[in-house]
A and B are shown apart, each in its own frame.
Chain A
Amino acid sequence: MVELKNVDVHFKDGGGVDALNNVNIRIEDGEFVFIVGDSGAGKSTLLKLLTREIVPTSGRVFVNGYNLSKIKNKKIPYFRRSIGMIFQDFRLIPDLNVYENVAFVLRVTNRPKREIRHRVPYVLNLVKLADRAKMFPGKLSGGEMQRVAIARAFASNPGLIIADEPTANIDPALSYDIVKLLKEINKCGTTVIMVTHEHSLVEYFGGRIISLKAGDVVFDDYIGGTAEDE
């Protein structure tokens, strides 16, 4: 469960900017939520709050049972293990092959070797990249790299996946496949929060949409997607 209560974020740099104003959001376990908004709307600030890269100026943030406003520094790594992150620039390690990139997250979090041997092929199969396991990121297309990043985010079976504009750097035609893949993962019970500025995707898939504008939540409701009509 993700909950933001009366959250304000004010940056002192640059003469003082109100990045988020009195934001109240509650996302239940197993939901799929799109967060939309123009540049400067506060999307990135919201994600940084959810991953505990920043703390709110006021208000409280709860994610997966952790109170991020009060969490101790040494507990942050353990909190982050409960979420999976997907970035728009993929952030794959270039000198590790596909298998090793996915295994990396499990290794970092001290998972046993046996679990790594079972889990990595499973998630690579899920993102349909089993045949690319030994390839290096430089040899993959943008869509394939993002699918590796999704596999990596899902490898540790987190309760929440946060995707920061995962379709921004890939062919528009492949964007739908990426969101479909995230929807598949969501069906396994994982909460997915996806930040995007691609309205066509949101309109196609529908579901719960949270829209931000100049730091305020201006829309938070469910819409029907055209995909449902197909």
Chain B
Amino acid sequence: MNNFSYLIKQGIKSVWRNRFMSFAGLCVLTVSMLLFGLSALVMIDCEIILSNVSDQNEISVYLDDDADIEKVGEEIKSSPLTAAVRYISPEEGLEQMMENYEEQRTLFENLPYNPVPPTYMVTVNDIDRISEMTATLTSIDGVYRVNAPMDFAKFIRDIRTAFTVIGLVLIAALGTVSVIIIANTTRLSVFARRKEIAIMRAVGATNGFIKTPFFVEGMFIGLLSGVLSWFVTKLIYERIYDMLYSGFQMWSALGINKIVAFDVISWYVLAAYCLLGALLGALGTVISTGKYLKG
């Protein structure tokens, strides 16, 4: 315990001794983890939104007035992408419309004819193939028009793809830069403590004993970056969350549930950041101590 606390103390001392390099490492590591973390959160939210869209993935299929309703229904059911089919007759459709627009009920009641066509509500079993399903439904004889929540799903999917790519590129590029900076910070620490290391070697310190403070230093910077990234993520994410749900009810209007609240995932995000930071910090140290503390 005596030695353990000594080694920890030495590692933290080194962070202060090389404070400029440590600060540079801390900043780059924080920025890279932050961008990666935010990308990951956007990806998670896209998944949630997509699953919500999937829950409401009903395509409205409007038929010609003279269409063979049963035949069209059979063709829709025969598609492997069809999860469920619900028929709404023109009378039911008009009634629904009047319920939805209660104030205009009189207007609808006085129409000389029923404007609502026979309609099938089709639920697809794979939101990602909704455009394929729309094309299939459009090609059925007797189908007048098809309405699908395709554009919104495509938009969300595009966001998810973009953030996946951004996240991966950022973690690869900035992660590498962070590791290099931490490796250089460790290298400076090794240089600053070269006399001490020479004495340690002369008096019989093991390699593990000599290297441990450098690991502590790298991991300490990593953990600090983790906590800092978590804090900044919390600020940014909660701001965005409030913007989306305070005044403008766009998501509710689209019938989509809320994205995940930060409080729910706060501890997981902190743990992930700290783990990633410590890993990147340790990796930088491994590279540096392996190279400059051989033997």
Contact = CB atoms under 8 A, between A and B. Distances in A.
A178 B207 CA distance: 32
A91 B204 contact: no
B206 A51 contact: no
B195 A107 contact: no
Contact of B3 (A93, A107, A156): A107
B204 A78 contact: yes
Contacts of A80: 201-204
Nearest to B200: A108
A79 interface: yes
A107 B202 contact: no
B196 A93 contact: yes
B199 interface: yes
B205 A108 contact: yes
Interface in B202-218: 202-207, 209
A82 B204 CA distance: 8
| Contact residues on A (Cβ < 8 Å of other chain), bracket | 20 to 34
A105 interface: yes
A113 B6 CA distance: 12
B295 A108 contact: no
Contact of A104 (B199, B201, B206, B295): B199
A55 B201 CA distance: 16
Most buried by B among A74, A82, A107: A107
Contacts of B207: 77
A48 B195 CA distance: 17
Contact of B204 (A73, A93, A108, A152): A108
B206 A77 contact: yes
Contacts of A108: 200, 203-205, 209
Contacts of A85: 202-203
B2 interface: yes
B198 interface: yes
Given A73-B295, A93-B195, A105 B3 contact: no
A73 B209 CA distance: 15
Interface in B243-259: none
Given A93-B195, A104-B199, A112 B204 contact: no
Contacts of A51: 202
Contacts of B6: 107
A115 to B, nearest CB: 11
Given A81-B203, A91-B195, A109-B204, 8 more contacts: A78-B204, A79-B204, A82-B204, A84-B203, A85-B203, A107-B3, A108-B209, A113-B2
Interface of A: 51, 73-74, 77-82, 84-85, 91, 93, 104-105, 107-110, 112-113, 152, 156
11 contacts: A73-B295, A77-B204, A77-B207, A80-B202, A84-B203, A91-B195, A93-B195, A104-B199, A107-B3, A113-B2, A152-B203
Give 7 nearest A-B pairs by CB, closest first.
Answer: A81-B204, A80-B204, A108-B205, A105-B203, A77-B204, A77-B206, A85-B202
